[in-house]
Structure 1
């Protein structure tokens, strides 16, 4: 019976090896197949003839060959390892790493979302003569071992909402959070609460979550990974991958393939290598803190030594995160820093933190992400200009502190006191003089002076509704900047001509006076970002900053340098982001614009850095921060994780700005999809869209390819985003400046002193 089990185990191992390497048969695999074939043939002819010693030698040969094959793994081989049904899953980790656990939010198929698993677990530690239970909240995607209801670890919006709920529970209970990333990507549906919107909420809350967060990466697919991956310590399994997109997705984009057409294996292998997705790549780039070595060809459920190593690594990482912020560190903190993970269980440290320690924890987390991806952008600003900019920033911060925090607080107190006294005096005066005023009104009734008539007229003008006859009050037709399409001598048909019977429009009228809006049905034709820069933000009178930060090719992605140069020549921009200071009807604001003509408005390290600096500038100067999205295709895939990491980085910058009392307002236009919408744009409490814009997590083609569901033509329209609460209003293009000004006067945080 033991021999049968050994033979079956060897057959499973050979099948696993062939699954990993696919059609790539080398000498080691052929040798293993031949030797195992001989054993199976003899066993079939004469059962019991194969000896235990012979099977042991064959197992040793398998061990040697697996180590040899492991050294030659390509990035795509590692992708196949983490996708294999025999790969360890979160349930295996709960069973073998923690001493006890209780699953929360349902079990198995009867769950809010079976792809997201939540458990309350603990480590049992011996301290002297006592045993102590150290509680943690375990959160992660559950792929399972081929269970279809797990959806391959692709989490729906409500699964991420469940994860966020229990993160907040852990924050309340003052226990650490251990997150496990086992996902090819989030499930791209916009059903409430919406994939993009929920990932943005998770990132926003994790940016300032007052609990230690330890993240373990096995398969990290873009935004789905970031939904639970923003941690104080990030551990990556040696055979895992962490990427902006799957190699197959990158190959489809590179090859320009249509839906249903698959890329060649050679192109997929090439893209997997270009994207720098392995644990070693991410460690070198600084996006994970350490790599945990797995057994040859990846960890599987029977690798119990690996589970012991993972347990020690989790305890060590949690100890490090906690000891770094504790006020009384003494010798244990030094011992933790000096120790290896195999010594972790010998050092005990309480994991609950004081309020001040939690504040330090959040500050260190935010500073850690702020320092990332410096190598992935080019800053052409000279040393002198940097020094001047730094000095000016310090002056601005000091000026704001003195004006608003020191003098401003005293002024507010005095203003409040005088307002209260004035209100009391007004009431007394009103009560004393009202009888005398009524008597005088009776004597003078019927005789209205010229001055009185003027006063009545002024009162009516101030109190009546504006434009009562014409409906909405649109701005005049004299725009500062006119689209070049207004020079075309032709007529344009409105797409709604069949339903609204719109007449043909002459291009000079449509793209000139009408600002690209059909006067009959209100359909918005696409308009250049320059139209908004000049007519909404008065760009010519603004002060642009950080224009020397430039997009580069950090992964040396093949032919991407040429594509970047072409985009720079065409748009005369150095990145897809423009940042500047402007005034909207006298209200000064900081603006960041994502420009669709530059690589689809995709976000990389340069764009992320410019966005962060704009948020920091708005915070220093106590000004509103406006993000206008002329269009974004998402995270720039050619920058790999250098692009993905901008999701948590920019979200942290926004969180710091909002927590400091600023007003952050986002306006979407044309097509806005993927990572930026699922992070630093989607986390704004004030989001608006221009009519006819499209907003979502993934485009129609990606949704159809991923889910197999048909996508309605209007699935991503702004009105659907409004109905599910993603955005909070839809604006006519001609009224954007007026609506922005109104928003600046009526919305926002406590540090907007212009009011």
Structure 2
């Protein structure tokens, strides 16, 4: 036995422990390191077998010490564990959990994004003499062991695009997906396709993949985790973390730390604790289903018993997903439940068509149930009963009108059209002769006039709209200032100064020279875009709270409620636009920057469900959003997939979903339920992106140009489909609803 090599390994374990503890002073570790260093000199005269026993004693003592330290780990210690270069990587898992695999989509630094690893793998299971090879698609962020080209698992848009491509291949081949989440967050680039829009596409598409998906979380950082993290079964390593933002990022925001400074260690530690980011916290919150136990101080590359546990739990999770949507499963389900390590129970992972439909529906229900206790429902009992009864009536009316009557009318209409088309073939020549004769004498048939009206029906002239001025409904406070306003582009474009009362009334906050759109209050839109007196708000009393008991946050939420008169940053209402009834959800920048938490997500989902029931088009007007509310932790982060699934269901049912951005819109909402809309528009001078300039500099060290998040940049890469002046919003929205929605406005 090489005693010197063993001593070096023991010293390596001591140094590893110091590093994950943030190099805090631990006298017992210092004393143990000193004992290791002095061991060769003090025990040079010992016989070999006695020296071996002495080394084994050291090993046992260190193991006991590691277990004691492991029981005292803080949330931030676990963050340091998952970031450590010795952490078990995805390549280690592929080598030790799966029986065979082939890496696809590029390898190592020659991949389109080496931080995203894709592999077609097999799990071999034996039943007696029979061997069954079960294929899976493995996707995940790969950090390696300190390999710089993998960018620390921070994935660029094309890496997430690669993952989505092969997840779709898995769905096509009807094999399960195993997603290993190990990222501090996505790389915030806005080159095509753009970080936000690619994550939004990933979440939207994963919601509908009809194969079992199992996600295993190690480091789950913000939108980067959600890009591959939507799953039917979500497992988490016991020393991992899953959070809306890194503790350092949360500390920088909470402490208002400048980009040139670093947040104090104490503040970072307190933010990590307050956000409730550990596996145990997430299990208690219902955001993961099971914890995979790791060795003390976290899993490293040579912990082979850990890989065995991962294999057992991943296989069982996939079995449970498959069995949960099958018709006949009684005996195998009982066996799995009562004998969790029973390898004789073989479950086929392929699903028939009905089971695949049930799988997607069950996934929606799973996410719909999340975060139900993370918001405040201040409605009275009578209001709740009224809402429930109203919902029952609306659902019943919808089933009768759209489930029975309308399909029957469509069927009769199709049969009639087919019949008339056949008749037309026979009578076409006779009809053409008579039409020609009538035209020669100057007579136009009624059918010709009717066809002309049908062809121009969508573009015919409408009654004149209400002029786009503030009128008597609302006057911007900015208009009351008796001063001149200078356009920010005056030096470059020669814009003249204009009186505030003229700019914010007659000109609707738009520079008459260059068209720059000054920020306006959300009330301006309510009074100038929608028909007067048509707005009917609902779910007002679903209120933002402080579900994580984040220090000093409750007072800030209460201050926002008092200042704005709103209960959350999301305003949901029914309104009409030129007589067209629609449902609208607005994110208000005045309330905590328009950030989204559990209350906002719930209100957005309920508004989508109402629009689906009433068969109305849906408008998401984003006055401004700073992203997901970091103080709510995963309660806020989970709104990304939750609301996206509601959007997908609404669109699949035939709904028309339009998004309009104003001022500044960033992060989680843009990278999920807003960015997945096929019809997105922006007010001129707005900014749209995944991360703000400060976050980009902090995470990448890059200085971005001033126009990096300009709406025209978003237009050029296809994130949005048009840029509008504020003065044209009413007209353009009406036009969009008519031309995109057609005469039905709801159905495709």
The bucket for the TM-score relative to the shorter chain is: over 0.9
Is the 1:404–1:753 Cα contact (8 Å) retained in structure 2?
Answer: no
Could you tell me which residue of structure 2 aligns to residue 589 of structure 1? 582
> Aligned-pair distance for 1:478?
5.6
Could you tell me which residue of structure 1 aligns to residue 131 of structure 2? 131
Matched, 1:613 2:606: yes
Matched, 1:54 2:54: yes
Matched, 1:182 2:175: no
Give the match's secondary structure for 1:375: coil
Matched, 1:78 2:78: yes
Equivalent-residue separation in structure 1 for 2:588 and 2:155 (angstroms): 30
Could you tell me which residue of structure 1 aligns to residue 686 of structure 2? 693
Equivalent-residue separation in structure 2 for 1:749 and 1:240 (angstroms): 49
Could you tell me which residue of structure 1 aligns to residue 262 of structure 2? 262
Matched, 1:370 2:368: yes
Bigger drift between 571-580 and 260-269 goes to 260-269
Task: Please point out which of 540, 548, 552 is paired with 2:545.
Answer: 552
What per-residue deviation string (whole Å, max 9, x for no partner) do you get for residues 509-561 of structure 1? 10000000011110110111111111113474211111110000011111101
> Aligned-pair distance for 1:386?
1.6
Give the match's secondary structure for 2:322: helix
Structure 1 residue runs of 5 or longer lacking an equivalent are 445-457, 468-472
> Aligned-pair distance for 1:42?
4.1
> Aligned-pair distance for 1:707?
1.2
Q: Relative to structure 1, is the Cα distance of residues 464 and 306 closer, same or farther in structure 2, using a 3 angstrom cutoff?
A: closer
> Aligned-pair distance for 1:751?
7.0
Could you tell me which residue of structure 2 aligns to residue 649 of structure 1? 642
Could you tell me which residue of structure 2 aligns to residue 599 of structure 1? 592
Q: Relative to structure 1, is the Cα distance of residues 137 and 428 closer, same or farther in structure 2, using a 3 angstrom cutoff?
A: same
Q: Relative to structure 1, is the Cα distance of residues 84 and 41 closer, same or farther in structure 2, using a 3 angstrom cutoff?
A: farther
Give the match's secondary structure for 1:643: helix
Is the 2:617–2:746 Cα contact (8 Å) retained in structure 1?
Answer: no
Equivalent-residue separation in structure 1 for 2:466 and 2:683 (angstroms): 14
Is the 2:655–2:747 Cα contact (8 Å) retained in structure 1?
Answer: no
Task: Please point out which of 490, 493, 510 is paired with 1:497.
Answer: 490
Give the match's secondary structure for 1:360: helix
Equivalent-residue separation in structure 1 for 2:21 and 2:385 (angstroms): 54
Equivalent-residue separation in structure 2 for 1:463 and 1:747 (angstroms): 10
Matched, 1:393 2:372: no
Is the 2:656–2:747 Cα contact (8 Å) retained in structure 1?
Answer: no
Task: After TM superposition, list the pairs within 5 Å mapping 1:15-30 onto structure 2.
Answer: 15-30=15-30
> Aligned-pair distance for 1:482?
2.5
Could you tell me which residue of structure 1 aligns to residue 474 of structure 2? 481
Equivalent-residue separation in structure 2 for 1:316 and 1:439 (angstroms): 81
> Aligned-pair distance for 1:194?
0.6
Is the 1:605–1:642 Cα contact (8 Å) retained in structure 2?
Answer: yes
> Aligned-pair distance for 1:752?
3.8
Give the match's secondary structure for 1:88: coil
Equivalent-residue separation in structure 2 for 1:194 and 1:202 (angstroms): 12
Is the 2:458–2:738 Cα contact (8 Å) retained in structure 1?
Answer: no
Could you tell me which residue of structure 2 aligns to residue 455 of structure 1? none
> Aligned-pair distance for 1:330?
3.5
Equivalent-residue separation in structure 2 for 1:22 and 1:40 (angstroms): 29
Matched, 1:746 2:744: no
Matched, 1:580 2:581: no
Give the match's secondary structure for 2:660: strand
Matched, 1:682 2:675: yes
Could you tell me which residue of structure 2 aligns to residue 447 of structure 1? none
Could you tell me which residue of structure 2 aligns to residue 242 of structure 1? 242
Is the 1:662–1:749 Cα contact (8 Å) retained in structure 2?
Answer: no
Q: Relative to structure 1, is the Cα distance of residues 433 and 265 closer, same or farther in structure 2, using a 3 angstrom cutoff?
A: same
Is the 2:469–2:528 Cα contact (8 Å) retained in structure 1?
Answer: no
Equivalent-residue separation in structure 1 for 2:2 and 2:428 (angstroms): 98
> Aligned-pair distance for 1:462?
10
Equivalent-residue separation in structure 2 for 1:376 and 1:86 (angstroms): 36
Give the match's secondary structure for 1:106: coil
Equivalent-residue separation in structure 2 for 1:749 and 1:375 (angstroms): 40
Q: Relative to structure 1, is the Cα distance of residues 507 and 59 closer, same or farther in structure 2, using a 3 angstrom cutoff?
A: same
Q: Relative to structure 1, is the Cα distance of residues 176 and 463 closer, same or farther in structure 2, using a 3 angstrom cutoff?
A: closer
Equivalent-residue separation in structure 1 for 2:550 and 2:537 (angstroms): 30
Equivalent-residue separation in structure 2 for 1:33 and 1:261 (angstroms): 34
Could you tell me which residue of structure 1 aligns to residue 321 of structure 2? 321
Equivalent-residue separation in structure 2 for 1:462 and 1:592 (angstroms): 29
Task: After TM superposition, list the pairs within 5 Å mapping 1:62-461 onto structure 2.
Answer: 62-340=62-340, 342-343=341-342, 345-416=343-414, 430-441=431-442
Could you tell me which residue of structure 1 aligns to residue 631 of structure 2? 638
What per-residue deviation string (whole Å, max 9, x for no partner) do you get for residues 433-458 of structure 1? 3343344349x9xxxxxxxxxxxxx9
Give the match's secondary structure for 2:504: helix
Task: After TM superposition, list the pairs within 5 Å mapping 1:511-550 onto structure 2.
Answer: 511-538=504-531, 540-550=533-543
The number of equivalent residue pairs is 733
Bigger drift between 18-27 and 77-86 goes to 18-27
Q: Relative to structure 1, is the Cα distance of residues 465 and 586 closer, same or farther in structure 2, using a 3 angstrom cutoff?
A: closer
Equivalent-residue separation in structure 1 for 2:338 and 2:358 (angstroms): 22
Equivalent-residue separation in structure 1 for 2:656 and 2:672 (angstroms): 17
Is the 1:662–1:751 Cα contact (8 Å) retained in structure 2?
Answer: no
Is the 1:669–1:690 Cα contact (8 Å) retained in structure 2?
Answer: yes
Is the 1:602–1:634 Cα contact (8 Å) retained in structure 2?
Answer: yes
Is the 2:182–2:218 Cα contact (8 Å) retained in structure 1?
Answer: yes
What per-residue deviation string (whole Å, max 9, x for no partner) do you get for residues 369-422 of structure 1? 000001110111223322221121121122122122322223234445556677
Is the 1:515–1:734 Cα contact (8 Å) retained in structure 2?
Answer: yes
> Aligned-pair distance for 1:483?
1.1
Q: RMSD of the TM alignment (CA)?
A: 2.5
> Aligned-pair distance for 1:34?
2.9
Equivalent-residue separation in structure 1 for 2:561 and 2:326 (angstroms): 48
**TM-score, normalising length from structure 2?**
0.94
> Aligned-pair distance for 1:52?
1.1
Equivalent-residue separation in structure 1 for 2:696 and 2:292 (angstroms): 34
Give the match's secondary structure for 1:512: coil
Could you tell me which residue of structure 1 aligns to residue 447 of structure 2? none
Equivalent-residue separation in structure 2 for 1:665 and 1:99 (angstroms): 47
Q: Relative to structure 1, is the Cα distance of residues 191 and 530 closer, same or farther in structure 2, using a 3 angstrom cutoff?
A: same
Is the 1:213–1:233 Cα contact (8 Å) retained in structure 2?
Answer: yes
Is the 1:662–1:750 Cα contact (8 Å) retained in structure 2?
Answer: no
Equivalent-residue separation in structure 1 for 2:131 and 2:383 (angstroms): 59
Structure 2 residue runs of 5 or longer lacking an equivalent are 445-452
Equivalent-residue separation in structure 2 for 1:40 and 1:680 (angstroms): 62
Is the 2:458–2:739 Cα contact (8 Å) retained in structure 1?
Answer: no
Q: Relative to structure 1, is the Cα distance of residues 625 and 249 closer, same or farther in structure 2, using a 3 angstrom cutoff?
A: same
Give the match's secondary structure for 2:87: coil
What per-residue deviation string (whole Å, max 9, x for no partner) do you get for residues 188-243 of structure 1? 00111110000000100111111100000000001000000001000010000001
Is the 1:603–1:635 Cα contact (8 Å) retained in structure 2?
Answer: yes
Give the match's secondary structure for 1:122: strand
What per-residue deviation string (whole Å, max 9, x for no partner) do you get for residues 572-629 of structure 1? 0000000001111111111000000000000000000000000110111111111000
Q: Relative to structure 1, is the Cα distance of residues 44 and 647 closer, same or farther in structure 2, using a 3 angstrom cutoff?
A: farther
Q: Relative to structure 1, is the Cα distance of residues 246 and 439 closer, same or farther in structure 2, using a 3 angstrom cutoff?
A: closer
Give the match's secondary structure for 1:114: coil
Could you tell me which residue of structure 2 aligns to residue 470 of structure 1? none
Could you tell me which residue of structure 2 aligns to residue 454 of structure 1? none
Give the match's secondary structure for 2:682: strand
> Aligned-pair distance for 1:365?
0.7
